[in-house]
Structure 1
């Protein structure tokens, strides 16, 4: 009798019991893994937003030293990203941990001038940090609504500014091709007043166009699509660009 009871107490799990346990673990893993992935991406987004905040402070320090004028994207030798290193002290701030291009060099180092190499994670709105050939960038006093004007945002583009135009005549979909919305369909954006916010790409284009003049605005005043007004005073255009809304939607779909 004792022998039988001992054998019963030492009996292991049956195959069915093991399969049930494995199935329960699989279900729990399927539920929890996406939650863990989102939590990890949220932490990366916070790091990315912190980078942009530090970059924004450096830009504002620059404007205070240069009569409240925004810099151009290229001074003939270096990008604006390299030129503001004196205020930032760390080129690592240009690397977003979520961006798949964050180890690729966008601007080569210039040791003779003390300029570090800059990787591809962020790019500027060309209406605020203008291409050198478009004329001088605007002064702070020219910007009507700084809290709705994007200065720098997540990007995969290798150069300093992120072209965000849309032109069906030459097949340009710059917003889709140059943007990055890998923070669970969001892109982190630095605004002219210094705040940073994660937004869906379409939220940057409507109900308010946060980028300035585009190729398909009706023109005139702040929405002049000519040159160079498109780049210098065009930052104050808030009129929605239907083409850019479509391109922002395409960018959003890439990361869904």
Structure 2
């Protein structure tokens, strides 16, 4: 009787398989930063769009005005309490809506608390701004990815302007591969460059 033939990998086949696995691993590892980066962009966009819904709801419930950036209660606090009755300004675990996931790479200590700033061009930081006052919603920035505040590394400034402090060019955080997400007054979110020649106009359109 003939003995049954035995099957198995030859040394060349084994080495070839190892080489293919190594190549695939290299491709996957090189693509990982782009994949995770896009996921951060997507999550940030979702945050900003939901914040826009809360801002619209706030305006409907408050005679058509947006919450003041700062003052007795900041816009963060007012929207935070609308979303979560247990909102605490200093508790990052309860502030997920205000945190862009990519900010862990750009905020010192990697512990961001709030990472979005609101436009207050032409108004005081304690003014309640009429939502319907703007006639150029598609080209008017409302929210941006804010940079870590030097006075509180876990937080951003509450608001931004075009030319006076806090200027958008100083406080925008280009944490999405050199760009930042901006929410416009018509509700769309767009990736922008800090050097976009239209940036100042996007800010100064507020209130026009």
TM over 0.5: yes
1:64 paired residue among 34, 41, 60: 60
Task: Provide closer, same or farther for how the CA distance between residues 38 and 11 of structure 1 changes in structure 2, counting only shifts above 3 A.
Answer: closer
Query: Please, what is the CA RMSD of the aligned residues?
Result: 3.5
Shift of 1:126: 2.2
- After TM superposition, the structure 1 = structure 2 runs for residues 71-90 of structure 1, keeping only pairs within 5 Å, are 71-75=67-71, 77-89=72-84
Alignment of 1:154 with 2:145, yes or no, is yes
* 2:187 matches 1:235: no
Aligned 8 A contact 2:116 2:145 in 1: yes
CA separation of 1:150 and 1:125: change in aligned 2, threshold 3 A: same
Equivalent position of 1:224 in the other structure:
none
Q: Is the contact made by 2:121 and 2:162 (CA closer than 8 Å) also made in structure 1?
A: no
Q: Would the alpha carbon gap of residues 23 and 137 (structure 1) be closer, same or farther in structure 2, given more than 3 Å must change?
A: same
Task: Judge conservation of contact 2:169–2:194 (CA < 8 Å) in 1.
Answer: no
8 Å Cα contact 2:67/2:78 also seen in 1: no
Per the alignment, residue 101 of structure 2 pairs with 97
The higher radius of gyration belongs to 1
**Cα distance in 1, alignment partners of residues 199 and 162 from structure 2:** 17
Q: 1:211 to 1:176 in 2, by over 3 A?
A: closer
Secondary structure of the structure 2 residue equivalent to 1:197: strand
Does the aligned pair in 1 maintain the 2:119–2:203 contact within 8 Å? yes
Provide closer, same or farther for how the CA distance between residues 12 and 147 of structure 1 changes in structure 2, counting only shifts above 3 A. Answer: same
Aligned to 2:133: 142
* Residues 128 and 198 of structure 1, relative CA distance in 2, 3 Å threshold: farther
Q: Does the Cα contact within 8 Å between 1:72 and 1:129 map onto a contact in 2?
A: no
Number of matched pairs: 187
Q: How many Å separate the matches in 1 of 2:166 and 2:133?
A: 28
CA gap of 1:128–1:208, structure 2 versus 1, over 3 A, is closer
- Aligned partner of residue 202 in structure 2, secondary structure: coil
CA distances 1:136-188 after superposition (whole Å, capped 9, x unpaired)? 3432232111111111111124221134437xxxxx89444421122222211
Distance 1:35 1:130, change over 3 A: farther
> 2:44 is matched with which residue?
48
Q: CA, structure 1 residues 92+11, in 2 after alignment: closer, same or farther (shift >3 Å)?
A: closer
Higher RCO (CA-CA < 8 Å; seq separation 6+): 2
TM-score by length of 1: 0.59
CA deviations on 1:42-78 (whole Å, 9 max, x unpaired) are 1121111111111111111111122212222112x33
2:123, 2:40 → 1: CA distance? 26
Structure 1 unaligned residues grouped into runs of 5+: 1-8, 105-118, 167-171, 213-233, 238-256
SS in 1 for 2:55: helix
Q: What SS class does the counterpart of residue 103 from structure 2 fall into?
A: coil
